[in-house]
Amino acid sequence: MANLKAIRIRIASVKSTRQITSAMKMVSAAKLRKAQDKIVRLRPYANKLHEILVNLSQSLADAEVENVFARKSAPGKILIVAVTSNRGLCGAFNANIVKEAKRLLADKYYDQYMSGNVYFLAIGKKGHDLLRKQGLKIASEYNALLNDLTFEKTAEIAGKIMADFARGDLDRVEIIYNHFKNAAVQILTTEEFLPVETAPAAGKQGPPADYIYEPDSESIMKELIPTSLKIQFYKAVLDSYVAENGARMTAMHKATDNATQMIRDLTLQYNKARQASITNQILEVVSGAEALKG
């Protein structure tokens, strides 16, 4: 009988867990859609900016624009931006980032790591905790950013990194994040943020339109390069945020399915036990009656 009761309690507990996971799945789905909307809204801006940049680079032809963000030097000081999430329950989302960061340390920046010149910038509490546990140097953390992700706040962080780079305090900046492919698939991406690849490949888009440039094409170019870098940074963080919610949605979907399966198994077990106990009781009654007769 005790066994019966134990199973009943377990069924109840799994049922309430299933309720929670399925609610979390709904929440993630809603957040995912909202985050995707943000990417859609960013797109016209990013596209237009790119168009203007291509246009400018065509009119500049071969004239090299001096660009502090393209400074290529021996990689001395490295900053790795690890974009993770503030909350867990999203599968291997955060662990993958840390794994990739460690791989980067072992393969690409081993010497710099040994001489203690690799710093981390954590966006997301989970990654921050995991990196700290590994004993890695964390220069700064911006975990609050993910609570309210806007371009302005993200651009501020990107601006700080860019200023450090321009000053020569950093020689290379890498971003590690999860790229959103679909709700179930995240692609781990490592992107070299700084230095930038010089001059975007001039596309063949016919003769450039006859624009008046004010003040002149070179200054506009200089003005727009930081903006486009900030956009790139924002895109990466936003991408990761979308991927996070996708990952959580999938993880919670699986958890809900598992809970359903578990309830089914437990119910079967419960019914078997119940049947067995009824059979036992009948046997007792019958044999008791037999004994009286005799």
Q: Is position 273 an interface residue for other proteins (rule: CB under 8 A)?
A: no
Considering only residues 124 through 183, tell me which ones interact with other proteins, judged by CB under 8 A.
Answer: 150-152, 155
Pick from 220, 174, 208, 213: nearest CA to 49: 220
Q: Which of 165, 177, 193, 234 binds other proteins (CB under 8 A)?
A: 234
CA dihedral 35, 36, 40, 45 (to 10 degrees): 40
Q: Is position 123 an interface residue for other proteins (rule: CB under 8 A)?
A: no
Q: Is position 93 an interface residue for other proteins (rule: CB under 8 A)?
A: no
Burial class of residue 130, CB neighbours in 10 A (0-12, 13-18, 19+): buried
Closest contact distance (angstroms) between CB of 56 and other proteins is 7
Which one, 101 or 236, has the nearer CB to other proteins? 236
Q: Which of 64, 169, 223, 265 binds other proteins (CB under 8 A)?
A: 223
Q: Is position 89 an interface residue for other proteins (rule: CB under 8 A)?
A: no
Closest contact distance (angstroms) between CB of 206 and other proteins is 14
Q: Which of 7, 14, 35, 56 binds other proteins (CB under 8 A)?
A: 56
Between CA 261 and CA 264 the distance in angstroms is 5
Q: Is position 209 an interface residue for other proteins (rule: CB under 8 A)?
A: yes
Q: Up-side HSE of residue 17: CA atoms within 13 Å toward CB? A: 18
Which one, 209 or 292, has the nearer CB to other proteins? 209
Q: Which of 18, 21, 32, 55 binds other proteins (CB under 8 A)?
A: 55
Which one, 150 or 198, has the nearer CB to other proteins? 150
Q: Which of 9, 13, 45, 271 binds other proteins (CB under 8 A)?
A: 45
Q: Is position 207 an interface residue for other proteins (rule: CB under 8 A)?
A: no
Closest contact distance (angstroms) between CB of 213 and other proteins is 6
Whether 238 contacts 38, CB under 8 Å: yes
Write b or e for each residue in 196-206: b if 16 or more Cβ atoms lie within 10 A of its Cβ, otherwise e: beeeeebeeee
Q: Is position 110 an interface residue for other proteins (rule: CB under 8 A)?
A: no
Between CA 38 and CA 292 the distance in angstroms is 81
- Which residues does 17 contact at the CB level (< 8 Å), separation at least 6? 255, 259
Chain CA centroid to CA 252, Å: 16
Q: Is position 41 an interface residue for other proteins (rule: CB under 8 A)?
A: yes
Strands (E), 39-91: 78-83
Pick from 7, 38, 24: nearest CA to 242: 38
Quick one: which H or E segment has residue 190? strand 185-194
Kindly list the residues in this chain that would bind other proteins in the complex (CB under 8 A).
Answer: 38, 41-42, 44-46, 48-49, 52, 55-56, 150-152, 155, 209-215, 217, 219-220, 223-224, 227, 230-231, 234
